[in-house]
Structure 1
């Protein structure tokens, strides 16, 4: 089988008003992502999604489209999409970084490989290590107190047992929000916080001391990207466990986290890591060193969310039972780009038992919502 074409569609999908995100990275009201289709001479097609946000990965929808169209596609035409190791090698040799753009092509190749084999992607990763129904936490933005209280009540009523609150902005406002959410959700549910690299070590430690009575069980990425020593300093100083996320894009980052004893758990996902294969490599390396992994989110659409779900189902060390992840991106958006949206009921997302990624893109919807 050979790749005959890679077609790209920059889409613009608004978030539902009640789900719009506020964090240390700023506001996220509209998702401008790249959806792509890999075509083959066997008539099998694969779908991919680059969930790009400039303040997160440095990538934009326009840059992702350009590097896919002008750099990756000319080199990948004529190659076997099922030889995913070679596909990754070709992309890595020609371009540094660009993880989300690379992941879009790579997940489309996994989609093709699964369809050709008549198996879901998780079976190609070694088989199901857990249920296809995955319980998630809810990621709440850095909202004003009234909104945070209202959303907490709604989430508890919807069955969420873990709520993550965005911090990393103004410490006084963040501490007040966390205290209110804990008071509103009660003492028995799990509360985690995420600074998105918005604080330095001193600020993170001081803020955590002020939240000592909130029973925060996990502090995600309290310190800046690249500063492994700062992350380790916070881990030594506070009681909650530390999750590395924004600081850990590739395997070398994961090795540095572990070498510095900077985290208790690593957050991975195919977009950030450059594809499903690279996510699996990080998860396996972490397992060898006794570090569990969980799944993060960049507010993905159904395509990338499906890739995330397959990574969770197919990797034993993706310990979402103890560290619930974030795979509810499709529920945040006003429009679905697939004909069979992933099933989301409260905190639970379920992928179908179908070949490949298990989703069927509605290319008409994609074209209607394209920026081109």
Structure 2
């Protein structure tokens, strides 16, 4: 009997099995075209249909109307650390950043490299980043936007409620995109690297108010939201295959019941692991309960050697990619949308077995 394998990688991450099977079935001949999906032109009607369906599904799942548009870009969330301030910080030339972890700090660091822009850190959850501090009231007429990192993959924290602010809100949703419920129309712009919850690496989603995407700042074309929006993300060859997979995953999400249903499933998976950790005599999770991520759960035995033994034995049991980020060590389980509930059960059961054997 073959062993059931679960992949808890933080990204590139697990994709829905039905989607992978459809990709496999269509790989050699997409829709009777006698071409692989890897070969079709980004100028073809075939791709136009994929693009239109993917965009429509994103807006539908986020419950956003035609005041918003969707861009399918490249460069990861990391490029958005630069594109956001270049395109949006144009009135006051000043932006506010909530620092809740490594990637939030990187976003702030990149913004500060832009000449004539002041990027202010308005919260600090360091040095252990075990909570999500409240954003102070920001004065009107001072900041072009407030940037938050909705979920912190390394430290396992997440915003469960968006900060109350009159400043336009920008969100990096890379690791909980379409996996956690928010009032999405409170964002002026949100972006997400797709490799955690939506598609293979190489695609970045930007969802923004059309008025922002229409404001041409005269930037170099590939950094210019307005130029990219005018060309429907095809100023150069877009990541066709990744957008195709994203369209399929978005369809799978609709079949699951949308964001509300998948968020409830994610909370159920996370609750199973957190309940075990809270009652464990060996494993610990340091994150404040009110800030716990539903998708990335770090934990440790408290001993590096024992952590490494756990990771090795878990791998032998078919539980893959449980090593924590190099910045913090320990272990981390990423329970993204495509991780089945059975994967959480398998991890919980293995942790219980390991604890019993290492008392």
Class of the TM-score when normalised by the shorter of the 2 chains: 0.3 to 0.5
Greater Rg over alpha carbons, structure: 2
What is the TM-score of this pair, normalised by structure 1?
0.31
TM-score normalised by length of structure 2: 0.32
